[in-house]
């Protein structure tokens, strides 16, 4: 009886490089401001100069893999900073020969912040004190700002995304380029975590810009693929080339 494989051979997860939004958010936070100085839709925020270099380094790291180990396909959030990261990996030769151009999927987009978008934690407390108090009580996993998404909302669309990956790319090596919460929520789904476990992981440390994670899928006795974490928040490409590694602070809001 042939082995059934309902998962990719390997699933790579990469957070985009440092964005101009990351830089603007950090500057606003350090200056004690309520509003982030960035007049762009979150979807249109590009990489910073450093972020572009980080993406290029990540691309060279993938390009250095043996052809039999490189991703067969690359799926990306449609947000500009993720697309630029995916394109840099492709341009460097990080995909196996004959791979298609980057495939964009809106289910990989950043978590939507709703009325909190563009505000620092201070700004949220000043403008929406009742909502900030509600979030503190409910917790970040389930709290949904008006017009925005909770982590649980992101999980819902990513379950759909993984179903698509299983159907279209079973047995392939798949590279996903996304955002901080997207990568975290992918791990939540694949490892069947609880709310407490994913939030504890989130507190341990931030996902680096262009940090690399990977899951392999071993076949169990029922001939089904079982996710096994093979790599997490891997930043060696930046270290090897003397690059600055940047990470996502555990803040409520901001362009990520």
Domain ranges in the chain are 10-240
Look at residue 244 in the predicted model and tell me its pLDDT: 65
- Tabulate helix, strand, coil % of the chain (nearest 5): 40, 15, 40
Look at residue 121 in the predicted model and tell me its pLDDT: 95
**Backbone angles phi and psi of 211, in degrees to 5:** -65, 140
> Distances in Å between the alpha carbon of 77 and those of 101, 123, 211?
14, 27, 16
Look at residue 1 in the predicted model and tell me its pLDDT: 43
Pick out the chain residues at pLDDT < 50: 1-2, 249-256
Look at residue 233 in the predicted model and tell me its pLDDT: 95
CATH H-level, domain 10-240: superfamily: Phosphoglycerate mutase-like (3.40.50.1240)
What 3-state DSSP class applies to 118?
A: coil
Look at residue 224 in the predicted model and tell me its pLDDT: 63
Q: Which helix (H) or strand (E) holds 159?
A: helix 151-168
> Distances in Å between the alpha carbon of 256 and those of 45, 77, 153, 222?
9, 12, 17, 40
Which residues, including other chains, have CB under 8 Å from residue 40's CB and lie 6 or more apart?
Answer: 20, 21, 255
Rounded Cα distance between 94 and 156, Å, is: 30
Look at residue 179 in the predicted model and tell me its pLDDT: 97
Look at residue 6 in the predicted model and tell me its pLDDT: 80
Closest by CA position to 189, among listed 229, 220, 221: 229
Output the pTM of the full model: 0.91
Look at residue 31 in the predicted model and tell me its pLDDT: 93
Query: Using one digit for the tens of pLDDT, what is the confidence trace for 103-142?
Result: 999 999 999 999 999 999 999 999 999 999 999 999 999 9
């Amino acid at each position: 009886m042939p082995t059934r494989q309902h998962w990719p051979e390997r699933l790579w997860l990469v957070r985009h490089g440092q964005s101009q939004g990351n830089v603007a958010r950090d500057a606003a936070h350090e200056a004690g401001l309520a509003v982030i100085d960035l007049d762009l839709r979150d979807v249109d925020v590009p990489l910073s100069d450093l972020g572009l270099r980080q993406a290029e380094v990540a691309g060279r790291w993938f390009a250095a893999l043996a052809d039999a180990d490189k991703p067969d396909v690359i799926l990306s959030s449609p947000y500009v900073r993720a697309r630029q990261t995916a394109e840099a990996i492709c341009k460097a030769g990080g995909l196996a020969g004959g791979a298609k151009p980057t495939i964009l999927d809106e289910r990989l987009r950043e978590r939507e912040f709703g009325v909190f978008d563009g505000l620092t934690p201070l700004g949220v407390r000043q403008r929406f004190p009742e909502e900030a108090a509600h979030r503190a009580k409910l917790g970040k996993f389930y709290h949904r700002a008006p017009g925005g998404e909770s982590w649980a909302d992101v999980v819902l669309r990513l379950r759909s995304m993984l179903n698509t990956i299983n159907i279209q790319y079973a047995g392939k090596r798949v590279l996903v380029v996304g955002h901080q919460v997207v990568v975290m929520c992918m791990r939540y789904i694949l490892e069947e975590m609880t709310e407490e476990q994913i939030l504890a992981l989130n507190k341990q440390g931030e996902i680096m810009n262009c940090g690399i994670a990977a899951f392999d899928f071993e076949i169990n006795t029922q001939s089904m693929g079982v996710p096994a974490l093979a790599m997490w928040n891997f930043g060696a490409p930046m270290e090897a080339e003397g690059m600055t590694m940047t990470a996502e602070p555990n803040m409520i809001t901001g362009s990520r």
